[in-house]
A and B are shown apart, each in its own frame.
Chain A
Amino acid sequence: MEALKLIGILIVIVGFILKKDTIATVVIAGIVTGLVSGMSLIEVLEILGKSFISQRVATVFVLTLPVIGICERYGLKEKAVDLIGKVKNATAGKVITIYQIMRALGAAFSLRLSGHPQFVRPLINPMAQGAAIVKYGELDKETEDELKAYCAASDNYGNFYAQLCFIGAAGTLLIVSTLSEQGCDIDALQVAMCSIPIAVISIVVGAVNNHLLDRRLDRKYGKKQGGKA
């Protein structure tokens, strides 16, 4: 009954899908997996305890929190908003691309932002909509929603693909911990360096995608409004 060992994976999947507490889900999955493969409870607890201690490095990002917390208190977010707000006379696509670049830089420099409520809703979406209205006149609902989706998406691209460039990021440390637990000789600096190409590529892909959006809008409204397509 080798396949029974996969029950832990099943528990993780079901637990995450049902939005059960993640910590409890992971611990239950570990204990059940150990027990069905013939370990004693004490043995499972020993493995859990040993690797939890040896992988404390995955939580070392906590040491960066005081600095980031103080910067937040002293206007970090407000100043970032000022910077982005300086972007004028750009098309909707360019506004979104510039935001994605800033978001990616932020992620690579360890900024913990919740971009959607802090930037996209109050700032980026209004700027992109504004740029499109200046160029094309009134927008239909479909275009409005498309711009909203692109703004929200740019936050995800910037955040996801650049975050591993920071050696203290939770994801970077997870990779180090998991692989060193498997016996690889690896450190956070190597992982961060290997993450740079994808970060750069994601910006290029995002920029091309946003440029295509501009072109599409030009075609759509250029004919209708006779705008400067």
Chain B
Amino acid sequence: MINTILSEIFYCLIGVIFILVGIRALKDETLASRSLTAAFWFLLAAIFMVGPYLPQAAVGASIVVLAVLTGLNKVKPSKGEALDAEQGRKEADRLGNKIFVPVVCLAGLALLAATFLPFGANNAIGISGLVCLVIVFAVTGAPAKAAANEGSRLMDSVGITGILPQLLAALGAVFTAAGVGDVISGAVSVLIPEGNMFIAVLVYCAGMALFTMIMGNGFAAFSVITVGIGMPFLIAKGANPAVVGALGLSAGYCGTLVTPMAANFNIMPAALLEMRNKYGIIKAQAVVAAVMFALHVAIMYFWAL
């Protein structure tokens, strides 16, 4: 109960950050679609803050509105104050390695809170985010408004794809309710001899890598392949879900290493480095990707079962 209340408080804080991003957009006179951009963030904030008390279909309809706004390309990052390299250099010289303390604490405290506090691993992230805010103020001497300014600046630069994981989990739920998982598992069951867990692991990892290559996005592949293959052939047969999930997504990343679809990671940097062959990075990564893939299959087989 207390955990749920705490979670709702954290979701309200996330909502506040979304509202700040919307306000940033409204203030940016150069942004052509600033009222629609702001509308996107305000609506998203409302879903986070009061969504649980609304009819579910109303939340669903709001998500459709969000999708229409992004689909019509009306949600844009706003200018706001950019990072200032000169200030960064000056502060780096003043603070030295102390600047690493808050970020190390962010991960460290989250782990400690998840392990030792009774509020659950999910709330641990929020707790650590708040405690580290105090630490970062102490270390940098930043003014209080920096939390709002920098938090919304970074959220704005993460942008709308920040809600993609959450949306993909919802897509997975629709797929499950529609029976998509059953169709995939029916088709895949031809490949997997009854009770042969090694082949099941291999097919799941290969499915993750292959779908990630096609879509260029491991997250999207994860919701499809895990519902269709991971659940029925591994987890339902007693495999450890945390191991299957963790290794499943990173098995997908083996596919990311060898696909031009993941342009940010493989193609853009080749241009950035002025390489003659724009597929040079993919070529260099192919062997490591193959070795890592084989290791994923082996570790999942021996560890999850």
Query: Which has the most chain A C-beta neighbours within 10 Å: B57, B137, B164, B214?
Result: B57
A137: CB under 8 A from chain B?
no
Is the beta-carbon distance between A67 and B223 smaller than 8 angstroms?
no
What residues make up the interface of A, taking CB atoms closer than 8 Å to B? 2-3, 5-6, 8-9, 12-13, 16-17, 20-24, 26-31, 33-34, 36-37, 39, 42, 44-53, 55-79, 82-83, 108-112, 116-117, 120-121, 125, 141, 145-146, 148-153, 155-157, 159-161, 164, 166-168, 170-179, 181-182, 184-195, 197-198, 201-202, 205-206, 209
22 A–B contacts, CB within 8 A, in A order:
A22-B160, A23-B163, A45-B56, A46-B56, A50-B60, A52-B170, A56-B14, A56-B166, A65-B150, A67-B136, A74-B92, A148-B274, A153-B257, A156-B281, A167-B125, A168-B125, A171-B218, A178-B223, A181-B170, A186-B242, A188-B125, A198-B246
Q: Chain A residues near B137 (CB, 8 Å)?
A: 70
* A53–B103 CA distance with the chains assembled, in angstroms: 29
Q: Chain B residues near A209 (CB, 8 Å)?
A: 287-288
* A176–B122 CA distance with the chains assembled, in angstroms: 9
B153: CB under 8 A from chain A?
yes
B189: CB under 8 A from chain A?
no
Q: Chain A residues near B97 (CB, 8 Å)?
A: 79, 83
Q: Interface size bucket, B side?
A: 35 or more
Tell whether A37 pairs with B235 under 8 Å between CB atoms, given A64-B106, A69-B153, A188-B114: no
Query: Which has the most chain B C-beta neighbours within 10 Å: A3, A174, A186?
Result: A174
- Fill in one digit per residue for B132-152: 1 if any A CB lies within 8 Å of its CB, else 0: 110111011010001111110
Closest chain A CB from B20 CB (angstroms): 10
Q: Chain A residues near B305 (CB, 8 Å)?
A: none
Is the beta-carbon distance between A151 and B273 smaller than 8 angstroms?
yes
Indicate which residue in A21, A62, A63, A150 contacts B73 across the interface (CB closer than 8 Å).
A21
User: Which residue on chain B has the smallest CB distance to residue A64?
Assistant: B129
* A72–B146 CA distance with the chains assembled, in angstroms: 11
Known: A30-B175, A151-B273. 20 other contacts (CB 8 A): A12-B220, A24-B67, A33-B174, A49-B57, A51-B170, A51-B173, A64-B125, A69-B149, A70-B102, A70-B150, A71-B103, A82-B92, A83-B97, A109-B106, A111-B103, A149-B284, A174-B168, A188-B114, A194-B246, A201-B292
Is the beta-carbon distance between B57 and A46 smaller than 8 angstroms?
yes
Tell whether A66 pairs with B284 under 8 Å between CB atoms, given A59-B165, A75-B88: no
User: Which residue on chain B has the smallest CB distance to residue A182?
Assistant: B231
Q: Chain B residues near A141 (CB, 8 Å)?
A: 276
B269: CB under 8 A from chain A?
yes
Closest chain A CB from B291 CB (angstroms): 6
User: Which residue on chain A has the smallest CB distance to residue B218?
Assistant: A171
